């Protein structure tokens, strides 16, 4: 059902839970443990905070303010929306959601700037938007829902170490490599001399229309600040990240800054069902010893993991890309993580490193059907026909090698700080 996409991804996981419970294969407290896990409540909290950001209009105000203080040039406009995407990546746990927010702003920008349709300038702006809002997902724990799946099945001592801040710290070298390659490739592929036609007067008028900050926008700012403060001071108060996020969500709800309707509409409840069921399934596999049995079938891969990690990275990247041709992203991550984490522990390796490699490579795609958020991007921008799709797809294929290079560049750093 997963491989052939017969139904939505969350439905097979529910079916598996029902079968396990009815046949009494494992105790209910094991099978349903995903719905009481910190990862489940963390995902719920992030969705709630994202809903406040979306409904308040704060994100659009941020973009307008960036343009107010930037020079009127193609480079700075692309840089602005690119940086905005990176900034919003850890705040929105859905690449589809981020693309949905960014695309209308992108279309307005291209038309206002007066760039030639399907030209290098307009396509460069499209690449800046798409890359900024999606390329750096693996660098942040809270940027994608599936990260909570990986986080949820890590051993407890690893989870306690790799909170939001340490996850970012461990992934920083990979992020810098992706950033450098992005700027080099865009400069080579999209160099042109087109000039923007947008004036400061138009930007000023758009800013004046926004008016002062609304109560919802202040709530969104306060929620983000409180969440960030809780993360930054976690070593002092010892409160785990999921409960910080859950407390922020409670405050937002109790003060009425997020309505019941918006809470229902903007939280991906089907994913939460999927997340809770999948974590329970993986814990059931561990309870039954299936993870050990599966791990034994892949012991040959463990040999490379321990003796030649550089070759192992290449094998794992290739395996992930191959699976992604046939299996959805989330299912690929869940299968590889559940199989390889026990092998990593047997070989004395940090399973977070394995999980990070799986995540950064599972974000890679070659054919459009492999990437739901590209299909959304294509659907939203298609009617305008402003961008050169072939150049966007070519850029994406080349970026696959960026990701492999980013992993290899991170290995010496991981060794130096004791992660690997």
pLDDT at position 47 is 82
Q: How far apart are CA 287 and CA 4, in angstroms?
A: 28
Q: What CA–CA distances, in Å, run from 210 to 217, 257, 358?
A: 11, 19, 42
Domain chopping of the chain, boundaries: 30-416
Instruction: List helix spans (H) across 135-259.
Output: 145-153, 156-161, 164-189, 200-210, 215-232, 234-237, 241-254
Contact 341, 355 (CB under 8 A): yes
Q: How many CB atoms lie within 10 A of CB 281?
A: 22
Contact 389, 378 (CB under 8 A): yes
pLDDT at position 3 is 66
Q: How far apart are CA 120 and CA 118, in angstroms?
A: 7
Contact 190, 130 (CB under 8 A): no
CA–CA–CA angle 385, 387, 393 (5° rounding): 120
Question: Would you put residue 93 in left (φ > 0), alpha (ψ -120 to 50) or beta?
Answer: alpha
In the numeric block, the tokens 């991906």 are attached to: 268
Q: Give the number of residues written for the chain.
A: 420
Mean pLDDT, consecutive 10-residue segments, the chain of 420 residues?
76 91 95 89 84 79 77 84 89 79 80 81 92 94 85 88 91 96 92 75 80 88 86 80 88 91 85 85 83 68 84 92 80 83 87 94 86 82 82 92 96 94
Sign, Cα dihedral of 25, 26, 27, 32? negative
CA–CA–CA angle 387, 364, 39 (5° rounding): 115
In the numeric block, the tokens 């070989």 are attached to: 347
pLDDT at position 375 is 81
Q: What CA–CA distances, in Å, run from 136 to 109, 185, 260, 345?
A: 23, 16, 32, 27
């Amino acid at each position: 059902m997963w491989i052939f996409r017969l139904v939505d991804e969350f439905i097979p996981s529910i079916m598996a839970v029902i079968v396990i419970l009815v046949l009494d294969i494992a105790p209910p407290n094991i099978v349903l443990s995903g719905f009481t896990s910190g990862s489940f409540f963390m995902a719920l909290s992030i969705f709630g905070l994202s809903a406040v950001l979306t409904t308040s209009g704060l994100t659009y105000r941020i973009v307008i303010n960036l343009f107010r203080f930037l020079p009127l040039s193609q480079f700075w406009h692309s840089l602005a929306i690119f940086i905005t995407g990176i900034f919003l990546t850890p705040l929105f746990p859905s690449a589809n959601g981020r693309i949905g927010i960014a695309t209308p702003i992108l279309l307005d920008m291209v038309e206002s700037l007066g760039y030639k349709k399907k030209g290098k300038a307009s396509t460069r702006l499209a690449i800046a938007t798409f890359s900024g809002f999606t390329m750096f997902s693996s660098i942040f724990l809270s940027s994608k829902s599936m990260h909570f799946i990986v986080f949820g099945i890590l051993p407890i001592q690893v989870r306690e170490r790799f909170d939001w801040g340490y996850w970012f710290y461990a992934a920083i070298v990979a992020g810098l490599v992706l950033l450098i390659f992005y700027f080099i490739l865009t400069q080579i592929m999209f160099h042109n001399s087109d000039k923007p036609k947008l004036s400061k007067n138009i930007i000023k008028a758009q800013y004046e229309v926004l008016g002062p900050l609304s109560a919802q926008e202040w709530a969104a700012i306060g929620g983000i600040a409180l969440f960030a403060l809780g993360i930054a001071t976690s070593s002092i108060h010892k409160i785990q990240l999921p409960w910080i996020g859950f407390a922020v969500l409670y405050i937002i709800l109790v003060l009425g800054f997020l309505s019941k309707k918006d809470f229902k509409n903007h939280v991906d409840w089907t994913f939460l069902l999927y997340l809770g069921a999948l974590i329970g399934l993986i814990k059931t596999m561990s309870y039954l010893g299936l993870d050990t049995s599966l791990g034994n079938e892949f012991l040959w891969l463990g040999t490379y993991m321990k003796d030649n990690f550089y070759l192992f990275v290449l094998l794992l990247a290739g395996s992930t890309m191959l699976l992604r041709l046939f299996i959805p992203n989330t299912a690929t991550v869940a299968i590889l993580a559940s199989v390889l984490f026990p092998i990593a522990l047997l070989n004395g390796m940090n399973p977070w490193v394995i999980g990070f490699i799986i995540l950064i490579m599972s974000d890679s795609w070659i054919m459009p059907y492999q990437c739901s958020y590209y299909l959304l991007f294509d659907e939203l921008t298609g009617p305008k026909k402003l961008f050169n799709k072939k150049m966007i797809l070519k850029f994406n294929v080349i970026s696959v090698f960026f990701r492999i290079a980013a992993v290899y560049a991170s290995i010496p750093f991981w060794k130096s700080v004791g992660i690997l």
